[in-house]
Amino acid sequence: MAESTNSAAVEIPPIISVDDHVVEPRDLWQRWLPARWRDAGPKIVRGPYEMVPEGEISRAARSGWSAFRPAATGPETDWWLFEGDISATLLGNAAAGLPSEEVVPGPISYDRMRPGFYSVKERLEDMSINHIERSMCFPTYPRFAGQRFLDAKDKDLGLACVRAYNDWMVDEWCGDSGGRLIPLCIVPLWDAELAAMEVRRNAERGVRAVVFTELPSAQGLPSIHDANGYWDPFFTACNETGTVICIHIGSSGQGQMTSDDAPLCVPIALTTTASQFAMADWLLSGNLVRFPNLRIAFSESQIGWMPFLWERLDNLWHKKNYHDDWSPLITQPPSSYVPGHIWGCFFEDAFGIKARQDIGIDMITFECDYPHQDSSWPNTKTYAEKVLAGLNPTEIFKIVRGNAIEMLQLEPHLTDVQVKKH
């Protein structure tokens, strides 16, 4: 398709961001857990911290911006305490609005955050500043795929925490937003039957998206290739309810370090590699054939790499090398299973937009990544105008909102009353 040479300003419709993040309110589990679990649930305690001296922590750990620890004295921050484990919100995960020179390794306390990170009213205001009509938010403390509660020693408590998070997500975070915040739930990863039950419970109240990990085996779980069909109950529930499986970069918990002495910009530049591993898994697993209504969203993975991976997989399929390893369900080139099944998501990928026809214009979604350090907030519209210049109005509409509406089965428009009220 020929690109327009019209130099007029690009018209950007109200944006639907399919990947933002919420910093959970400090009292979430104290308010939403059943009374019997509240004392044991996650809670905030105030205490000092110190940065770990160079040489006492591996380069890989430092790349996660978590090179700090509790201390006897020093500056104080807010610590999450759960089953004896203590952690704090990384500044890089709650950095929107800060100048780049202030975005450094270390924690951030609630009194230093913009209220929009954790409060509905202020979040909606920050969205309006940024031309964002609707937003879907991934968790922070539970981690991107809810792995925090996978690690719970008491799995009954872990399940209660998962359900409490989802009740808060649906009834408060999204319920108080007038439709502008799109619910995204977590599941108990340690039990596929329980995960399926949680998918169905939330689907009954209108939820159409759930988080999942890039590489389950990196979490000590069966892979999606599991010969015994470990994940089948979960996949069946998503298949039958139209629930999108959202796979966020970093959700494998497996950082890609090239060497211990590589600068930190190296693993940061490679954050999408696990997404590439995961997409190869999905396209070669046969699961998209077995569950024909499954929808997979690769969140924050960018999109420019996708056509090459599909070409590589198709070439392997045509050659039939290693034929004994191929699933008999893969009867067509692997790329043929992408349309209607797999969506990509970007916040900064000019090359991906150039390759949009190879990717499929219907399978591209857009995001803001608020409030992370990479977020385009408050200039998301300005970036969209720049990167989408030369596209026709239909293409622009699909990328910034239309494809999200189709993927997540959203109402095409919020009413004026909803938008003005909130």
Average pLDDT over residues 207-217: 97
Can you say whether residue 317 is alpha, beta or left, with left for phi > 0 and alpha for psi between -120 and 50 degrees?
alpha
* pLDDT > 90? residue 399: yes
Residues 66-114 pLDDT 10s? 789 999 999 999 999 999 999 999 999 999 999 989 988 899 999 999 9
Average pLDDT over residues 314-331: 86
H or E stretch covering 138: strand 132-138
Helix and strand totals (H; E) in the chain: 17, 12
Strands 296-299 and 244-248: parallel
Q: Out of 52-61, 313-322, 339-348, which region has the weakest mean confidence (pLDDT)?
A: 52-61
Tokens representing 20? 């933002």
Torsion of CA 35, 37, 41, 44, to 10 degrees: 30
Task: Please tell me the predicted confidence (pLDDT) of residue 369.
Answer: 97
Give the CA distances from residue 245 to residues 22, 104, 211, 233, 237, in Å, rounded to whole numbers and listed in that order.
18, 32, 6, 14, 11
Task: Please tell me the predicted confidence (pLDDT) of residue 270.
Answer: 85
The dihedral built from the CA positions of residue 270, 273, 275 and 276, taken in this order, carries a sign that is: positive
Residues 138-193 pLDDT 10s? 999 999 999 999 999 999 999 999 999 999 999 999 999 999 999 999 999 999 99
Position 262 confidence tier, pLDDT thresholds 50, 70, 90:
confident
Contact between 199 and 192 (Cβ < 8 Å): no
Average pLDDT over residues 225-239: 97
Contact between 20 and 138 (Cβ < 8 Å): yes
Radius of gyration of the chain (CA): 21
Contact between 214 and 249 (Cβ < 8 Å): yes
* pLDDT > 60? residue 416: no
- In three-state secondary structure terms, 184 is coil
Tokens representing 3? 């690109």
Determine the Cα–Cα distance for residues 64 and 28; give it in Å rounded to an integer.
Answer: 25
Position 61 confidence tier, pLDDT thresholds 50, 70, 90:
low
In order, the DSSP letters of 299-313 are: ET--STTHHHHHHHH
Q: pLDDT averaged over the chain? A: 92
Cβ atoms within 10 Å, residue 370: 31
H or E stretch covering 364: strand 364-366
Task: Please tell me the predicted confidence (pLDDT) of residue 401.
Answer: 98
In order, the DSSP letters of 264-312 are: THHHHHTTTHHHHHHHHHHHHHSHHHHSTT--EEEET--STTHHHHHHH
Nearest to 43 by CA among 26, 64, 57, 68: 26
392/61: higher pLDDT: 392
Tokens representing 363? 């399978």
- In three-state secondary structure terms, 51 is strand
Determine the Cα–Cα distance for residues 389 and 256; give it in Å rounded to an integer.
Answer: 34
Contact between 244 and 136 (Cβ < 8 Å): no
- Residues paired with residue 346 on neighbouring β-strands, in sequence order: 366
Determine the Cα–Cα distance for residues 268 and 265; give it in Å rounded to an integer.
Answer: 5
Contact between 43 and 81 (Cβ < 8 Å): yes
CA neighbours closer than 13 Å in the CB half-sphere of residue 18: 37
* pLDDT > 60? residue 119: yes
- In three-state secondary structure terms, 335 is helix
